């Protein structure tokens, strides 16, 4: 994964997503093969130093306050007490819990716990953030806040790895995706390329009939719309050719968007196949 | 290991110890232990307040002054020795009940996954928890034995410092039995079993310690050998208690070495096994 990527891991129940994450974090041991983090054997504690993790169904110690919890996990992450004291107020501020630091965790709502969990994952300024269902139980406004925080982090070079069953969440936030099925990687690539691989829709107006016939001969599907026409191109090169022809004929391009499959279509296709097909879209 | 890593490791251990302490406090285990110990202290205070001891001392004090001093000394030593046993048994078993849930609690899904994701070894994690638990109990033993010793000493004006041996001896046997709590907790994640196993071992040690009588009653060589093997393996809860009582009663050195090293070997072997299993387990 390139630094700063927003990577989503998808798969049906039982595909092995959580096991994969636990392998990376050495919570489970591989029966065969090995896992590496930043070039280091993942079973070594040191390899986990640049990693922040928010597990699914976490159980934070309810006897701690929010600030106390950050202090505890900060210490386990190798931070000195001075570093922890410096980091904690800013982190609580970042996740919108500035006034909740001295309050015991048992008084926190589910959404607040998720945000606090995110803060504990960030306390040692990790290079890689692994989040298991990060917006589980969070209301829409809270989801938006979490996405905004993650966007800021990726802007600063932090790589975010999200394990989620929410396709819409992955589609709206991630730029890379991988789909697992029965413990195998079946699809992986940049979301924009994977979806673009299914074709483009070019919306145009003011295009002459002769130009439309010319375009039709290239294999494009043309559909009249109230504003003009909607042209389906099977790939990016073809879409460029269509645009060139429309402009050469004096027509206007009203819109261009990837068409065909949604992430849901891709997911269903990838997880239904019996073959293990790794499609890498650069 | 670099200086930074050493500092980091000691920070981690300290944090785990502090966290165990906080959890014991939040679960009322710490206060429960403290309250029950205080109850025992109050009972001693009450018993001495009603002059039961003074009456007995006065009764023993009939006769010449020198004979009277000797008798009082003897009475106090007997009292001290039996009180030390009460504290030893009370403190140890109460501590086991209080500690049983602390290991399974940390192994709960959702909690252990986050702990293991941190850059700390599993050995450090479990040892930090072990030490935290030991600290909670050690503080309680110091309070319990110290308070009873002060009450007895002030009341009788006989300051028997050997009585304070009950503190290290109780902490030591608890440290050994805590290894069993950790071992059972790591394997079963059951608080109930984590209590049953060390308590059971404690009771068995009382039986096994009667080997001088029992081996005369056993009719086969292999059963006598088995009894002795078990006697040497199982921690010497009974023997250490007896040594403690004798040491206070007779006011002389007793054989600590044998029960201490055999119990230590048992505890270390069990703890190393628990660590090995914990390192290999999937969570």
* Residue B53 pLDDT > 70: no
| Strand (E) or helix (H) holding B145 | helix B122-156
Lowest mean pLDDT segment, chosen from A159-168, A201-210, B58-67, B127-136: B58-67
Inter-chain touch A60–B111, beta carbons under 8 Å: yes
CA A180 remoteness from chain centre: 14
Query: What confidence category does residue B7 fall into, taking pLDDT thresholds of 50, 70 and 90?
Result: low
* Residue B215 pLDDT > 90: no
pLDDT greater at residue A124 or residue A260:
A124
**Which spans in A105-217 are helix H?**
110-122, 140-155, 167-173, 191-196, 209-217
From the list A27, A59, A77, the residue facing B116 with the nearest CB is A27
Inter-chain touch A75–B283, beta carbons under 8 Å: no
* Residue A36 pLDDT > 80: yes
Query: What confidence category does residue A280 fall into, taking pLDDT thresholds of 50, 70 and 90?
Result: very low
Mutation target among B22, B114, B189 for the A interface, most CBs of A within 10 A: B114
Average pLDDT, integer, range B244-260: 86
Average pLDDT, integer, range B3-32: 81
> How confident is the model at residue B61, as a pLDDT?
53
Query: What confidence category does residue A282 fall into, taking pLDDT thresholds of 50, 70 and 90?
Result: very low
Provide the whole-model pTM. Answer: 0.80
Q: Is A279 helix (H, G, I), strand (E, B) or coil?
A: strand
Highest mean pLDDT among A44-53, A137-146, A234-243, B216-225: A44-53
| Strand (E) or helix (H) holding A233 | strand A229-233
Q: Are B162 and B249 in contact (CB under 8 A)?
A: no
* Residue A199 pLDDT > 50: yes
> How confident is the model at residue A278, as a pLDDT?
47
Q: What is the mean pLDDT of chain A?
A: 86
- Helices B166-188 and B257-280 cross at an angle (nearest 10°) of 30
> How confident is the model at residue A277, as a pLDDT?
46
What single string gives the DSSP state of each residue in B240-270?
HHHHHHHHHHHTS----HHHHHHHHHHHHHH
Distance CA A163, CA A176 (A): 12
How many C-beta neighbours within 10 Å does residue B71 have? 17
Measured between beta carbons, the chain B residues lying within 8 angstroms of A62 are 26
Distance CA B89, CA B95 (A): 10
pLDDT greater at residue B59 or residue B114:
B114
Nearest 5°: CA angle at A189, between A185 and A192? 145
Phi, psi (deg, nearest 5) at residue A260:
85, -110
* Residue A62 pLDDT > 70: yes
Average pLDDT, integer, range B88-97: 90
Query: What residues have CB less than 8 Å from B14, skipping those under 6 apart?
Result: A75
- Which residue of chain B comes nearest to A24, CA vs CA? B117
What is the rounded (10 degree) CA torsion for B43, B47, B49, B52? 180
Radius of gyration from C-alpha coordinates of chain A: 23
* Residue A196 pLDDT > 70: no
> How confident is the model at residue A270, as a pLDDT?
79
Share of chain A above pLDDT 90, in %: 40
Share of chain B above pLDDT 90, in %: 49
> How confident is the model at residue A183, as a pLDDT?
86
Query: How close is the nearest chain B Cα to the Cα of A130, in Å?
Result: 10
Query: What residues have CB less than 8 Å from B27, skipping those under 6 apart?
Result: A63, B101
> A42 and chain B: CB distance < 8 Å anywhere?
no
Distance CA B73, CA B80 (A): 10
In this structure, chain A runs to a length of 282
Interface of A with B in 90-129 (CB under 8 A): 120
- Please give the structure tokens belonging to residue B82: 């039996």
- Please give the structure tokens belonging to residue B27: 């679960």
* Residue B95 pLDDT > 80: yes
Average pLDDT, integer, range A146-152: 87
Lowest mean pLDDT segment, chosen from B87-101, B119-133, B168-182: B87-101
Q: CA distances (Å), B192 to each of A78, A183, B181, B198, in order?
A: 34, 37, 10, 11
Distance CA A144, CA A268 (A): 26
Query: What residues have CB less than 8 Å from A139, skipping those under 6 apart?
Result: A111
> How confident is the model at residue B196, as a pLDDT?
94
> How confident is the model at residue A218, as a pLDDT?
85
Q: Are A157 and A187 in contact (CB under 8 A)?
A: no
> A137 and chain B: CB distance < 8 Å anywhere?
no
């Amino acid at each position: 994964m390139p630094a700063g990527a927003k990577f989503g891991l998808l798969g049906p129940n039982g595909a092995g997503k959580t096991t994969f994450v636990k392998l990376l974090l050495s919570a489970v041991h591989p029966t065969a093969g090995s896992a590496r983090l930043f070039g280091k054997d993942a079973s070594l504690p040191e390899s986990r130093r640049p990693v922040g993790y928010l597990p699914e169904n976490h159980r934070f110690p309810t006897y701690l306050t929010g600030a106390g919890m950050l202090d505890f996990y900060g210490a386990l992450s190798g931070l000195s007490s001075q570093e922890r004291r410096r980091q904690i107020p800013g982190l609580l501020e970042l996740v919108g819990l500035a006034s909740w630091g001295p309050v015991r965790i048992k008084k926190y709502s589910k959404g607040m716990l998720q945000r606090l969990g995110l803060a504990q994952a960030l306390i040692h300024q990790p290079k890689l953030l692994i989040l298991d269902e990060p917006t589980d139980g969070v209301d829409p406004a809270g989801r938006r806040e979490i996405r905004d925080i993650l966007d800021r982090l990726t802007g600063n070079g932090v790589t975010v790895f999200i394990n989620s069953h929410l396709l819409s969440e992955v589609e709206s936030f991630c730029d890379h995706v991988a789909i697992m099925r029965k413990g195998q990687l079946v699809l992986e690539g940049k979301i924009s390329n994977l979806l673009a691989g299914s074709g483009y829709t070019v919306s145009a107006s003011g295009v002459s009939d002769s130009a439309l016939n010319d375009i039709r001969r290239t294999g494009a599907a043309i559909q009249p719309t109230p504003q003009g026409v909607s042209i389906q191109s099977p790939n990016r090169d073809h879409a460029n050719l269509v645009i060139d022809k429309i402009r050469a004929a004096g027509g206007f391009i009203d819109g261009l968007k990837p068409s065909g499959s949604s992430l849901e279509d891709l997911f269903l296709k990838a997880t239904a196949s019996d073959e293990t097909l790794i499609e890498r879209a650069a | 290991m670099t200086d930074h890593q050493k500092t980091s490791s000691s920070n981690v251990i300290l944090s785990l110890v502090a966290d165990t302490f906080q959890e014991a406090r939040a679960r009322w285990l710490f206060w429960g232990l403290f309250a029950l110990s205080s109850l025992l202290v109050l009972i001693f205070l009450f018993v001495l307040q009603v002059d039961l001891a003074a009456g007995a001392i006065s009764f023993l004090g009939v006769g010449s002054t020198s004979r009277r001093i000797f008798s009082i000394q003897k009475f106090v030593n007997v009292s001290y020795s039996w009180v030390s046993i009460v504290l030893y048994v009370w403190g140890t078993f109460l501590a086991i009940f209080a500690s049983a849930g602390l290991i399974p609690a940390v192994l709960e899904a959702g909690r252990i996954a986050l702990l293991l994701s941190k850059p700390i070894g599993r050995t450090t994690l479990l040892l930090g928890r072990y030490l935290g638990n030991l600290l909670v109990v050690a503080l309680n033993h110091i309070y319990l034995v110290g308070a009873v010793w002060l009450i007895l000493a002030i009341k009788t004006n006989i300051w028997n410092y050997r009585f304070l041996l009950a503190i290290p001896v109780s902490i030591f046997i608890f440290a050994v039995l805590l290894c069993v709590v950790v071992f059972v907790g790591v394997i079963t994640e059951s608080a109930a079993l984590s209590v049953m196993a060390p308590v059971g071992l404690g009771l068995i040690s009382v039986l096994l310690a009667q080997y001088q009588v029992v081996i005369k009653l056993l009719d086969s060589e292999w059963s006598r050998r088995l009894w002795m093997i078990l006697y040497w393996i199982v921690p010497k809860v009974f023997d250490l208690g007896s040594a403690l009582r004798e040491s206070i009663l007779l006011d002389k050195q007793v054989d600590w070495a044998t029960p201490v090293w055999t119990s230590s070997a048992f505890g270390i072997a069990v703890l190393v096994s628990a660590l090995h299993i914990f390192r290999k387990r999937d969570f």
